[in-house]
């Protein structure tokens, strides 16, 4: 995407598979490093991590005295298959340690709190530590496998030899009620990462006889937010940061979700109780219709008609919702949408504004991936469930009470939320909640990453263009600001990759299976800056098949993911299904 087109852009506005981990990792490394190029001359160069062998495991609980830490178990796990979220991955023999930090009783709600964690340390270690930042409201210690890149990654960090940490970010259940506790808010926002990281490094030192040579922080969604906050707050602790579909402006995005519910309610039918049924506002057939019209107008802009829209910027000018999608003159049957629906969708894609016309959150892009089921679920299901509770308890000062929130439904909370009077509460403080939700949830000085840059650290951000909750346009604008603040040379330490068609962290008609961790390691430890990363579809034979892929696509389709603002363009010859036939321009 050229600079000129970029300016115009803003103006326009799982099945189970098995494989041999060593062979798979070798193939991935070769493929990914082939897409890396460039160097960071003049910047501090970091040497590669050195491997080591596990020295102790079962005795860690009795042999280590870590401040404010209680190790609850430590056991050696044999090599074999590990099943997490329905996917079985062959994993190496490793030491699994579980524990808690900062155990306490909340002074406001009287609930028990602690920062729960698990860390998996392979017997044959590559010398690297990965903090696996988890998504959503956290609240549970998910398996520390290190699946932090694209959908259903075939070589998670543990398989690659990393010691991997996972945590619940300071509260023990994935519900929003922890927002009543001031410290739990801060732990969820950023302090859990700062508390756990030194402990994890000391634990690793006790297990191997040496601390990690290189440390990485990675995650998607709220995990991507954790990563971006970590790049700003904890640059001295990490050599590499990987942030996927980052919700780095999460309080604004969550309140926007409530506003979306209000917009969709204008064109939604009623359910049996007389409440708006948001799923009727725009049906799957209607989203599919809009998607097909986007493809019809924008497919060829990247040089080939292949069912994918790579040139997202040009598409925003080429596609017009009002004129390119038929307007219903009669009943809705999936072949048209009504004028009222067009008005609602135009508003939603432009983003919310207050009564003064001030933008409250960034709009988003028209992309074929809006036909993805994941996109619709964020627009219709999420506002009444996770977003209503999160806003009420975590992103508002003071938080709601359980009694008051329970007296209504999540949908009613969303529909009654005021972008004029309730929205500003994300910036508020009081005597009990002394740090605002906006402050503890977002990266301070987000356009200035000088500490990370100056220590030679590197950062990769990726974002699905059809994300239904966190605006990819917001992330692109952040990168533009980062570039401007760093003399248009931010690419020396931070790079953004947009994934056309991909929904929130995965899904949609997209090449959404890729590994960004290996290129990040190569950049950090070898100075090989990634100019592109090869991504594949999850067709037949993949470890988790993507059922939303168009039938006309090859099950092995691949594409280069390009450093923003470049676009993958067809070379004019070669197999249309192969990444080698495309170049980033």
Secondary structure of 415-482 in the HEC alphabet? HHCCCCCCHHHHHCCCCCCCCCHHHHHCCCCCCCCHHHHHCCCEEEEEEECCCCCCCHHHHHHHHHHH
- 8 Å CB contact between 448 and 284: no
Among 221, 471, 506, 581, the one annotated catalytic: 221
CA distance readout (Å), 531 to 229, 355, 521: 24, 43, 14
Q: How far does Cα 15 stand from its chain's mean position? A: 22
Is residue 30 within a helix (H) or strand (E), and if so which, with residue range? helix 21-34
Q: Which two tokens stand for residue 192?
A: 């859990």
Longest CA span, the chain: 76
Residue 463 designated active-site: no
Please, which residues have CB within 8 angstroms of residue 279's CB and are 6 or more apart in sequence?
A: 268, 376, 380, 381
Q: How far does Cα 505 stand from its chain's mean position? A: 5
Taking the C-alpha atoms of residue 386 and residue 378, their distance in angstroms, rounded to an integer, is 10
- The SS3 of residue 237 is helix
Residue 400 designated active-site: no
Residue 504 designated active-site: yes
- 8 Å CB contact between 294 and 345: no
Which one-letter DSSP state was computed for residue 370? G
Alpha carbon dihedral 186, 190, 193, 199, in 10-degree steps, equals -40
> Comparing C-alpha atoms, which of 278, 316, 292 is closest to residue 509?
292
> Comparing C-alpha atoms, which of 268, 313, 362 is closest to residue 500?
313
Among 226, 387, 504, 512, the one annotated catalytic: 504
Which one-letter DSSP state was computed for residue 361? S
- Residue 273: other Cβ atoms inside 10 A: 7
Backbone angles phi, psi at 245, to 5 degrees: 35, 55
Rg (CA), the chain: 23
Which one-letter DSSP state was computed for residue 75? E
- β-pairing, 458-464 vs 494-499, is parallel
Taking the C-alpha atoms of residue 538 and residue 150, their distance in angstroms, rounded to an integer, is 11
Among 168, 187, 239, 467, the one annotated catalytic: 467
Please, which residues have CB within 8 angstroms of residue 346's CB and are 6 or more apart in sequence?
A: 321, 322
**Which residues are catalytically annotated?**
221, 467, 504
């Amino acid at each position: 995407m050229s600079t000129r087109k970029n300016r115009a852009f803003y103006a326009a506005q799982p099945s189970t598979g098995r494989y041999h981990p060593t062979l798979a990792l070798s193939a991935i490394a070769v493929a990914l490093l082939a897409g890396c190029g460039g160097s960071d001359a003049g910047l501090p160069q970091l040497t590669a991590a050195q491997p080591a062998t596990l020295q102790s495991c079962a005795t860690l609980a009795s042999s280590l005295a870590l401040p404010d830490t209680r190790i609850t178990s430590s056991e050696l796990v044999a090599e074999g298959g590990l099943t997490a979220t329905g996917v079985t991955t062959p994993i190496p023999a490793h030491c699994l340690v579980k524990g808690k930090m900062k155990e306490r009783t909340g002074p406001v709600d009287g609930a028990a709190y602690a920062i729960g964690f698990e860390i998996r340390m392979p017997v044959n270690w590559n010398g690297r530590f990965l903090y696996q930042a988890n998504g959503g409201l956290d609240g549970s210690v998910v398996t520390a496998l290190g699946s932090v890149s694209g959908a259903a990654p075939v070589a998670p960090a543990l398989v690659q030899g990393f010691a991997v940490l996972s945590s619940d970010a300071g509260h023990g259940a994935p519900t929003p009620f922890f927002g009543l506790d001031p410290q739990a808010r801060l732990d969820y926002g950023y302090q859990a990462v700062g508390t756990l990281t030194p402990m994890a490094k000391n634990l690793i030192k006790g297990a191997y006889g040496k601390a990690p040579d290189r440390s990485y922080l990675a995650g998607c969604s709220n995990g991507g937010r954790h990563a971006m906050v970590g790049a700003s707050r904890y640059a001295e602790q990490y050599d590499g940061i990987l942030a996927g579909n980052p919700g780095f402006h999460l309080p604004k995005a969550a309140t926007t979700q409530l506003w979306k519910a209000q917009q969709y309610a204008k064109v939604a039918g009623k359910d049996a109780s007389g409440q708006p049924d948001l799923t009727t506002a725009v049906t799957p057939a209607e989203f599919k219709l809009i998607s097909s019209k986007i493809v019809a107008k924008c497919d060829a802009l990247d040089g080939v008609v292949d069912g994918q829209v790579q040139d997202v910027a040009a598409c925003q000018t080429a596609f017009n919702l009002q004129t390119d999608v038929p307007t219903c003159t009669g009943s809705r049957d999936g072949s048209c949408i009504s004028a009222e629906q067009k008005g609602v969708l135009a508003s939603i894609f432009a983003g919310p504004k207050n009564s003064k016309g001030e933008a409250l959150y960034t709009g988003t892009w028209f992309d074929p991936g809006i036909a993805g089921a994941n996109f619709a679920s964020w627009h219709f299901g999420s506002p009444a469930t996770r977003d209503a509770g999160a806003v009420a308890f975590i992103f508002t000062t003071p938080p709601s009470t359980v009694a008051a929130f329970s007296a209504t439904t999540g949908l009613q909370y969303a529909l009654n939320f005021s972008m004029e009077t309730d929205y500003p509460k994300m910036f508020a403080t009081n005597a009990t909640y002394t740090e605002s939700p906006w402050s503890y949830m977002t990266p301070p000085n987000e356009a200035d990453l000088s500490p990370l840059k100056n220590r030679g650290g590197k950062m990769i951000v990726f974002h699905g263009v059809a994300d239904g909750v966190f605006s990819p346009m917001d992330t692109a604008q952040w990168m533009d600001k980062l570039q401007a603040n760093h003399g248009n040379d931010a690419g020396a330490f931070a790079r953004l990759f947009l994934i056309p068609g991909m929904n929130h962290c995965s899904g949609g008609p997209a090449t959404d299976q890729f590994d960004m961790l290996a290129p990040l390691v190569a950049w950090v430890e070898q100075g090989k800056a990634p100019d592109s990363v090869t991504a594949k579809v999850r067709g037949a034979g993949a470890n988790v098949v993507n059922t939303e892929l168009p039938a006309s696509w090859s099950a092995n389709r691949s594409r280069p993911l390009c450093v923003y603002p470049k676009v993958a363009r067809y070379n004019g010859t070669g197999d249309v299904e192969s990444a080698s036939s495309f170049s980033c321009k």
